[in-house]
Amino acid sequence: MAKEQLEVLHALDVAKTQWYHFTAIIISGMGFFTDAYDLFCISLVTKLLGRIYYHVDGAAKPGSLPPNVSAAVNGVALIGTLAGQLFFGWLGDKLGRKRVYGLTLMLMVLCSVCSGLSFGHDAKAVISTLCFFRFWLGFGIGGDYPLSATIMSEYASKKTRGAFIAAVFAMQGFGILGGGIFAIIMSTVFDAKFSAPAYQVDPIASTIPQADYLWRIILMVGALPAALTYYWRMKMPETARYTALVAKNAKQAASDMSKVLQVDLEAETQKIEKLDDGKPANSFGLFSSEFLRRHGLHLLGTASTWFLLDIAFYSQNLFQKDIFSAIGWIPPAKTMNAVQEVYRIARAQTLIALCSTVPGYWFTVAFIDKIGRFTIQLMGFFFMTVFMFAIAIPYKHWTHSENRIGFVVMYSFTFFFANFGPNATTFVVPAEIFPARFRSTCHGISAASGKLGAIIGAFGFLYLAQNQDKAKADAGYPAGIGVRNSLLVLGVVNFLGLLFTFLVPESKGKSLEEMSGENEIEEEEQEQ
């Protein structure tokens, strides 16, 4: 086999970092900002929804969402995301990245706004419409995963590609921060304007009628950053790799990239025909035996590592509330009014994001093209395993009040190494190692497998972590295996992630065509 690459793709591979790289990061990253904001801010307002719509007269504690309602409100967006990743991933390869890209954004903007509007006043109507629009919001967010990753990988040069894709993903950290900070500001404003007693003083007056607007405003503002980038998303040209290798239009690819790179590029129609001339590298279908031979293990690697990571990553929500209550960041619910509770939860989650989540993402951006994807992912899973076992084995020790700070430090390290580790690399690698005509689909499959893990992590563990004694389990839940055993299970999950990492190839410093074998031409073709 000889290797041959189109000039336009080679020009992109060796291009110096230019302004268009940064605009691409911001345009793609804003989708992720919105995605994180929307998926994250629901956890800020679930307590408030419980107080407003599930208040029980005479109860010692404020109203809270019943387990099945809580699972629906939190989980419906994840299910939508899973469906969106598969559907838009496939569509991105069929119609082109750019055409589908605007569609996912419109869906996110519309459903963000609609999730703050509800038909009817009773609990059932409000929760039903919230769940309906959050499913479709998730569907749009799901499309953003494969498309953003693919667009960024196809625009970037081979030297900085990892950092650029990771930078798009790292905007999630800012989305989480944005959500927390906005909720802090709004709840402070509401509390100053409409003062209310704590629940234990006056259960009814502690939830002001205006609180019903607070959660709606927090949810709806998620539409803003995405709406602001819509115009630029539509102005972005289709990626050269899609135009040349999938749509087979060398002329268009050369003309688009000449404008972007500001250099003259010639259209190499003959070379495209030669690359595509019935040769195995460019003619097999998805899930054909040839695909399985070349990329089957790679797809298993990217899908399984993302699946295992998200089980551990999303189960964090389990312990977050316990941790915050344990270290006194969130006092008992009855000692606060409804708006103060939103403030306390938002403050605690913003602090965690600031200390462990955001730095982890940017460590990945800084080092991914220096030490490589494989090393970062292996190291991340290794340390997550170590810290998870270090929390789980002496779990009794950590529950004593004098050891709380140590517990929070260990917990923060687990999530620092998730973000400076597999949480970022599982997003980057699937956008680099598959052929252009399957790239978006394969990324979608890997991402959807991750979301399946997220659903297991968020809900499976909610039931698993319940006390082994049914009497001590949370209201409405059956007995589980307890928090300590759940943490041990998570340690094993992280270790499995480390083992499956060995199926994933290293793509640092290589061109996309080299990784996918799309620049291979039979030798005799060369000699003629």
- What one-character-per-residue DSSP string does 332-364 give? -GGGS-HHHHHHHHHHHHHHHIIIIIHHHHHHH
- Provide the pLDDT for residue 317: 63
Is beta strand 520-521 parallel, antiparallel or unpaired with respect to 2-3? antiparallel
CB contact at 8 A, 413 and 383: yes
Is position 260 within any domain? Answer: yes
Residue 167 falls within a domain, yes or no? yes
Which region holds residue 463: left if phi is over 0, alpha if psi is between -120 and 50, else beta?
alpha
Phi, psi of 222 (to 5 degrees): -55, -20
CA distance 504 to 7: 28
Tell me the torsion sign for CA atoms 115, 119, 123, 128: negative
Return the DSSP state at 234.
H
At residue 520, the 3 state secondary structure works out as strand
The per-residue pLDDT for 528 is 38
Q: Does residue 6 belong to any structural domain of this protein? A: no
Q: 398: domain range? A: 19-266+286-519
In contact, 348 and 329? CB cutoff 8 Å: yes
If one counts the domains in the chain, the total is: 1
Per-residue pLDDT, 96: 92
DSSP 76-101: HHHHHHHHHHHHHHHHHHHH-HHHHH
The CATH number of the domain holding residue 308 is 1.20.1250.20
pTM: 0.91
- pLDDT for residue 520: 64
- What sign has the CA pseudo-torsion 363, 364, 366, 370? positive
Query: Is 411 a domain residue?
Result: yes
pLDDT at res. 369? 95
Rounded distance between C-alpha atoms, residue 327 and residue 341, angstroms: 16
Quote the pLDDT of residue 123. 92
Query: Which residues of the chain register pLDDT less than 70?
Result: 1-4, 270-282, 317-319, 321-323, 325-327, 475, 520-528
Note whether residue 396 is domain-resident: yes
Asked if residue 279 is part of any domain, the answer here is no
**Residue 159 φ then ψ, to 5°:** -75, -35
- Nearest-angstrom CA–CA distance, 86 and 364: 26
pLDDT at 74: 85
58 is a domain residue:
yes
Q: Which amino acid is at 353?
A: A
Domain assignment of residue 281, yes or no: no
